[in-house]
Structures are given as structure tokens and as C-alpha cells.
Structure 1
Amino acid sequence: MKNQVIIGCSSFYNSFWKNIFYPQNLPSKQWFEFYCHHFDTYEFNGSFYKFPTVRVFQNWYNKTPESFKFSVKVPKEITHIKKLQECERLLNDFYEICKVGMKEKLAAVLFQFPPSYVFSQKKLETIINSLDYNFKNVVEFRHESWWNDEVWTVFKENDITFCSVSHPNLPKTIFKDFPLLYMRFHGVPKLFYSSYSTEELTSINHEINSKKGFIYFNNTASEAGILNALELKRMNA
């Protein structure tokens, strides 16, 4: 059975991609439209740095094809600064903005926690009690302590997806038995820069056989991300 993963990138505005992906004479204001002709999803990371508005998301919604999907990252104010403490209003606002702005094009809501966010029972309970389960929630950890059976069991019980990551300092586990297969390729060994070989992509493609979900390439500080995304997409054609 053919893989049912949807492949995309975590960035598109990249001058390294001219002549490699974007035609030399294509104005940068048309880059995202060009991206949408080749990919069916985009991981929106801008919301991590600046709390979004409905109008911002509606603009993105309006300029994408009907079947296009967005995964949207939760603002760092929630995950990195407050670390989910006293965040009920902020998080409710964010979910509502995603719902109204992205509508049916919203694929998943991505929570990325910092490396300093080390596993504890209390933190796990906070996550479980904070999320809105009307949405497809994906959680990415950057500390290895979260790679444990207790977390995985509780996540599955609550329909939360544990994010699979390719990162220099984290296990290479590909999680295939959560609500979604959700993978983020950050670049190894050089974070955000390194490319993945054809052999690596072939092996991963074989391992995710027949799974549903999303794969995003975040090794976009060079040309690596777009080339890897295109190659993996060809493998799934």
C-alpha cells in the first residue's frame, strides 16, 4: 500500500532555493504560490514567534488551494516562556484563531517544548489537562527524558501524537502508532543545514509504509530542505 503521508517544508522564503526550486526570474512574492503547486502542506512556524490573528490565518487560507493543509506551531509565549503555566486563556485564544482562520485546512497544532523542559509527572499532567481535544495535537520534545512508556501510554489514551524528530541530540525513533505519523527533519549532524541521503530517505520511506500523517523538512537554512522534500515526495508518487 502506498504511503499516505503528506510532505512539505517548515519554511518557503529562501533565496538558497532559487534556480534549485524557484525559477531564477520568479519574484519572491510569488514563491509561496509556486510552493503550493508542488506541495500540499506547509508547517507554519511564524506563529511561534508572533501570536497570530484570525486575519493573518485567513490570508494564508485564502491564498492556498482547496485541498491544502497547514500545521501550526503554538506560540513560544505558551511553550517556552510560560511552559503551559496559567495559559488557559492564551491557549484557548490560539485554538480559536486556528479554528476560525484556518478552518478545514488546519491539519495539526504543534507544541514544541524547549530542551530545558525535562520530564516530570506534573508536567505530563499539565499537558494532558491543557490541550483542547477537538484538535489534532502534536507534541515535540527536545529532551530525551520524554522518550518513555508512561508518556507514550498517556498520549495514546488522549489521542495526542508524539512527534518523531530527526535531531542531532535526540533518539531517531519513528512513532507509527499514534493518531498521526508526524515527523520533523531538522538536519543531522548540523542542525537546520544537513541534508539527508537517498539511502536515509529510502529507509524512512520504507519504515512509514502505509501510514497516514505529515512530514516536514526543517533543514531549511540551506538548499537541503527543499531537495529532501522533493526527493521523498517522488518516492511516494
Structure 2
Amino acid sequence: MRYLVGTSGFSYDHWEGVFYPLGMRKNKWLSYYADFFPTVELNVTFYRLPKRESFKRWFKDVPKDFVFAAKGSRYITHIKRLKDVADSIRIFRDQLSGLGKKLEVILWQFPPQMKIDLDRFHRFVRELRKVRKRHAFEFRHESWFTDEIYKILSDHNYALCIADSPGWSSPEVVTADWLYIRFHGGQELYASEYSQRELKEWSRKITRWGKEGYIYFNNDYRGFAVKNGLYLLDLLSSL
């Protein structure tokens, strides 16, 4: 079974001396990161869209079997709130084409104030057919956790993101033949470390689901994401 474990983002200044060697040039960070992890979730694509040349450079910086996930643009999810986004999706898709086949999945994180809108979601999902990648959805308002939404996701083989966080958590519902899991910190958002006991329990849960998975740690403070990610990767590799 293929379990891809990595971190949410890789370019953190506070990881220098904790994960990255002191003095290492930032343009070497991704290739160094790829020596330890098989995947990364790009957070930068949520805030801004780098030039296609940047994506092409990242493509070259990692091994041929390395996998990228990219976070969908907040302009689409948080500003336009999925409304009239056909052109925005096309631009987003075209820019990310620099990652080629190494980009496998796009995560769409919805704002916490955004309640369920089935009609709008149906239209959005139809537009996503033009982006021939896997898609995962991290809903942060509880109204989205309905059987209707799960069926839409299942019909398209899209994944409900299973998120672990002190502020919110998603139901552990599997809607695709693959998993997408995000760890935001068990006790303090982005700033708490998972215990070995917690990660062992998660490893057992993941293997029981019996599906390949994309698994990312977003607790970047003090390099906790790196430590926890490497530990879970080792656990899953040994099973």
C-alpha cells in the first residue's frame, strides 16, 4: 500500500537549524526535504500563485517519484466562495502544469464561516472536471458533513479530508478509494506535538482503512511536523 507522508509546506525559516542545516541556501531546501519525505503539500498556492517557472524548478528539484499536493487558491474558496470561478480554476490549473505528473492532488479548504450550498458546490465540482487531478475537500463548517455531500464526493472519487485539530475535526468518513489526512496539532493549533502513542493509533486506523493515502502534518512550530511526519512514515513503512 502506498502511504505518502509529508508536511504542509516546506519553506519555514524557523526550520533552519532544526531540520535544514544552518546556512543552507533556501533554493536547496526542497531537494534536501525530498531526501526525507516522498511528498509535500504546497501551502503557497493558497495565498498566491507562483509563476509556472517556479513550479518547473520545483519539479526538477525532486526525484521522479516525488509527489506534490497543492492547496487550492483562497481567491476561489474564500473570496469568490466558489461563485463564477471557471476562469480562476483554468488559470490555477495552467500555472500548476509546471509540476507535471508529480502533482497528484489538490486540496480545497473551505472557510469556517461558509455554510453548505449544494447548488454552488455542484457547479464547482463540475468545473473541477477540467482539472484532471485528484481533489480533496477540507470543510470547516459542520453543515457540510452530510450524506448528500459524501455522495457527491464518492460519485467523483473525491476525498473528504480527514482533519485532526484542537479547534475542529472532521468526521472520519472515507469517500474515495484513497485518503487525505491533515494533522494540525492535537492540543494547540499548529504548535503542538503528537505523541508516539497518538501516532501509533493513527497508523493502525490508516491501515485498517486499507487505502493509499496522502498524509500531511501542519504543526510546523519548532519542527514538530517534521518529527511527527518522519515517525508516522516509519510506522507505516514497517507495517
TM-score, with structure 1 as normaliser: 0.91
Deviation readout 1:11-36 (Å, 9 max, x if unpaired) = 22334434543344544443322111
- Aligned 8 A contact 1:74 1:112 in 2: yes
Q: Which residue of 2 aligns with 1:49?
A: 47
Say whether residues 1:204 and 2:196 are aligned partners.
no
Among 14, 23, 42, the residue aligned to 2:12: 14
- Partner of 2:105, secondary structure, is strand
Could you tell me which residue of structure 1 aligns to residue 100 of structure 2?
A: 103
Does 2:236 match 1:236? yes
Q: Which segment is superposed worse, 123-132 or 203-212?
A: 123-132
Out of 123, 127, 149, which is 1:126 matched to?
Answer: 123
Total equivalences in the alignment: 234
Alpha-carbon distance between aligned partners in 2 of 1:212 and 1:161, rounded to the nearest angstrom: 12
SS at match of 1:208: helix
Which residue pairs with 2:154 in the alignment?
156
Query: Which residue is equivalent to 1:226?
Result: 226
8 Å contact from structure 1 (residues 17, 226) kept in 2: no
- Could you tell me whether the CA contact under 8 Å between 2:69 and 2:105 is conserved in 1? yes
Distance 1:89 1:18, change over 3 A: closer
Who is 2:62 aligned against? 64
Comparing 166-175 with 33-42, greater Cα deviation is found at 166-175
User: Cα distance 1:15–1:92, how it changes in 2: closer, same or farther (>3 A)?
Assistant: closer
> Residue by residue, what CA displacement relative to the aligned partner does 1:31-80 show, whole Å, maximum 9, x if unpaired?
32211101110101111111233212111111111111100111111111
Distance 1:214 1:87 in 2: 26
Q: Which runs of 5+ in 2 are unaligned?
A: none
RMSD over equivalenced CA pairs, Å: 1.9
- CA separation in 1, counterparts of 2:24 and 2:126? 47
Task: Say whether the 8 Å CA contact 1:176–1:208 is kept in structure 2.
Answer: no
Q: Of 33, 36, 39, which aligns to 1:38?
A: 36
Q: Which of 83, 86, 90 lines up with 1:85 in the alignment?
A: 83
| Cα 1:187/1:200, change in 2 over 3 Å | same
Q: Is the 8 A contact 1:4 1:212 kept in 2?
A: yes
- Between the aligned partners of 2:144 and 2:201, the Cα distance in structure 1 is 25
Contact 2:145 2:171 in 1 (8 A): no
How big is the shift at 1:172? 4.9
Q: CA-to-partner distance for each residue in 1:113-164, whole Å, 9 max, x for gaps?
A: 1101111322332332331262211111111111111110111012211111
| Letter of the structure 2 residue corresponding to residue 195 of structure 1 | E
Q: Deviations over 1:163-191 (max 9, x none)?
A: 11012232353333413200011112211
2:166 partner SS: coil
The Cα of 1:110 is off from its aligned counterpart by 1.2
TM-score, length basis structure 2: 0.90
Instruction: Determine the C-alpha separation between the residues in 2 that align with 1:112 and 1:73.
Output: 7
Over the matched positions of the two proteins, sequence identity in percent amounts to: 31
**Which residue is 2:143 aligned to?**
145
